[in-house]
Structure 1
Amino acid sequence: MGEATQFTIITGSATDEKMLCQGPAFLSVAAVVDFELTLSMPSRLTADTGVDALTHAVEAYVSRKANPFSDGLALNAIRTIGRHLRRAYADGGDIEAREVMMLAATQAGIAFSNSGVALVHGMSRPIGAHFHVVHGLSNAMLFPAVTAFSVHAAESWYADCARALGAATDGDSNALAADKLVEALRALCQDLEVPTPQAHGIDKDEWFRLLPLMAEQALPSGSAANNPVVPTVDEIQDLYAQIYA
């Protein structure tokens, strides 16, 4: 999905910081999106990139910079990913699942390129930089907890996401649907065998030693400011602590 966005990441090797670069200069003139190139992807990479695409779509929809153009693309991507990500993970040769997941990932990329991402991405970058966790996996580690932190500030928007994902119905109240989204994300990550930082092998002492620095680094990109709840540094530290184990 990066091929259809105006964003790229550069890692500062001296500081272990991932820096976000954005603007029209980073946007491709054209992109070839061929799902057949994904058929050989291993299941772990399939899961991580699939959750990354879902994160792009949900954060694009609940972003403070969301707009009608990004909304339609985001909801369609959520709907598609909800029906096909588990299939692609279980069977990498499932051609139908691979094709529609590729389309959904591209739609989600265009969506967030027009509305921005939010706190999951802001907190994900420091994990990747300091502990060399791949981007989609660090997003997946954070996604349920950060969503639970944020839902109360934008229940109707998260409820729309829950209904698109297939986790809630039109008969559910917005509050119930938003809660069901959090539970659905937890269940999805469990089904896709997303490890905690601890299970991934990250040292506990090092994780907690770096919490203050990671929390500070999560803010400058602006992603956190797009979140329905704009967090304090202390709240970001608390979220990092929650997800470790």
Structure 2
Amino acid sequence: MSSSLFLPKMIKIGEGALLEVGEVAQHFQATHVFIVIGSLLKNGPIRDQLDECIRKQGLKATYFSNFSGEPTTEHLQDALLSIDECKADCIVAIGGGSVIDLAKAVSMFAFHQHVSLDDITQLKKITRLPLIAVPTTAGTGSEATKITVITDVESKVKKNPGHPDLVPDAAILDARLTVSLPKHLTAYTGLDALAHAMEAYVSRLATPLSDFYALHAMSLIGESLESAYHNGEDLKAREKMLLASCYAGIAFSNASTNLAHATARPLGARFDIPHGLSVALTLPFVIEFGLESGKERYANAAKALGINKEGTDEQLAKALLQMVKEYNAIFHIWADGYKYFEGENIEAVLPTLIKDALSGNGIATNQKIPKAHDIEGIYREMFLEIQKHN
């Protein structure tokens, strides 16, 4: 069976690459760019730099920042009304994965107004506006993926449809944009990138092409995540993490995530937990669940991350599990998770979490297919570990 790989047409990386946004937009024959930008970035030096480089290229610009948190169907409708008014012909997304996900949906629904999120995977071809993605976090890899994550405000379910035509046309990776990212967000997004790469590598849909990017992403993360966390001004570490995030995005976009993301999404939707944190909370227990069936792949992942240990595949796989647990301890993941569950009736919501996890993407691609009781076990172990650290 043949393998295929979908990724952006253009990837630029380097300090100051943000200033090339105008030139890239012109490459896609833009005259008026619709800039979807995080609310914290809409006023400040990034906005000033954008204004300057867009003005130099003689382009018009309309900014949209009327949203916060992870994107919802309401945010999408607001953005579509705004782009319809300004008649922009290119979209630039500057921010974290939530911003880029929203921009993807806007680029498509500007042309397909009567299509639902659930219909996306059934479309043979998607016509959309050119899309340039500029990540300000190193984690989601959304700048290189075919997936958009939008929460339906009515059902409170995170929809994550994918289609090859949703991959952004260009990704611009500028490490300077991640330097001001707080330590806890550096950790959340970095562990999300790790989960993307690891899950893509152990996925049933993994190919030699996706493996290449997954293993390189893990290697870069092993070299740079702790440095980026402890010293946010380390531009080399920041750039490595940006590249790792992009590589991991390419890997999972083509091979799929699996159980860690399937169990994390309901947590984010029900408790408003940042995506990277929710994935970090579930990942150790998902690895533990699939350790025996995927030990050879987990052993290779351990080597890619730089675990210098001799032993059998099982021993290396267990060393990987221990490393992920140590990351969660170093980055205060358990304590941060506790804040979102404190005072919640976990027993009451557990059946819904299990149902939502089983109904989402990532179950069938897991090496070991989980049943409802397996999902319950993962959640119970996670809640128990969180309680231990508080």
Matched, 1:237 2:381: no
- Partners of 2:271 and 2:340 within 8 A in 1: no
1:80-119 equivalences under 5 Å are 80-119=220-259
Which residue of the partner structure matches residue 151 of structure 1?
A: 291
Percent of aligned pairs sharing the same letter: 37
Which residue of the partner structure matches residue 208 of structure 1?
A: 347
Query: Which structure's CA Rg is the greater one?
Result: 2
1:140-219 equivalences under 5 Å are 140-169=280-309, 171-195=310-334, 199-203=338-342, 205-219=344-358
Structure 1 residues 217 and 84 mapped into 2: Cα distance closer, same or farther (>3 Å)?
Answer: same
Cα distance in 1 for partners of 2:360, 2:270 equals: 16
Cα distance in 2 for partners of 1:240, 1:190 equals: 18
Q: Deviations over 1:19-47 (max 9, x none)?
A: 11110232111121212110110101100
Which letter does structure 2 place at the counterpart of 1:209? A
Greater per-residue helix proportion: 1
Report the TM-score, using the length of structure 1 for normalisation: 0.96
- Partners of 1:54 and 1:81 within 8 A in 2: yes
Report the TM-score, using the length of structure 2 for normalisation: 0.61
- Partners of 1:40 and 1:92 within 8 A in 2: yes
Match of 2:196 among 56, 70, 76: 56
3-state SS in 2 of match to 1:65: coil
Matched, 1:22 2:162: yes
Which letter does structure 2 place at the counterpart of 1:71? D
3-state SS in 1 of match to 2:148: strand
Cα distance in 2 for partners of 1:215, 1:197 equals: 22
Greater per-residue strand proportion: 2
Shift of 1:196: 5.2
- Partners of 1:18 and 1:125 within 8 A in 2: yes
3-state SS in 1 of match to 2:161: strand
- Partners of 2:192 and 2:280 within 8 A in 1: yes
- Partners of 1:196 and 1:243 within 8 A in 2: no
Instruction: Give aligned pairs, total.
Output: 244
3-state SS in 2 of match to 1:224: coil
Which letter does structure 2 place at the counterpart of 1:202? F
Which letter does structure 2 place at the counterpart of 1:6? K
Shift of 1:87: 0.7
Structure 1 moving runs of 4+ over 3 Å? none
Shift of 1:198: 6.0
Q: Deviations over 1:110-164 (max 9, x none)?
A: 0111100010000111000000000000000111111111111011000000111
- Partners of 1:58 and 1:161 within 8 A in 2: yes
Which letter does structure 2 place at the counterpart of 1:117? T
Shift of 1:175: 0.7
Q: How big is the alpha-carbon RMSD for the aligned residues of Structure 1 and Structure 2?
A: 1.4
Match of 2:271 among 122, 128, 131: 131
Cα distance in 1 for partners of 2:208, 2:346 equals: 39
Higher relative contact order (Cα pairs below 8 Å, separated by 6+ residues):
1
Cα distance in 2 for partners of 1:242, 1:179 equals: 17
1:67-86 equivalences under 5 Å are 67-86=207-226
Shift of 1:193: 1.1
Which letter does structure 2 place at the counterpart of 1:110? I
Cα distance in 2 for partners of 1:39, 1:80 equals: 17
Which letter does structure 1 place at the counterpart of 2:305? L
Which residue of the partner structure matches residue 53 of structure 2?
A: none
Cα distance in 2 for partners of 1:102, 1:69 equals: 20
In the alignment, structure 2 segments of 5+ residues that lack a partner are 1-140
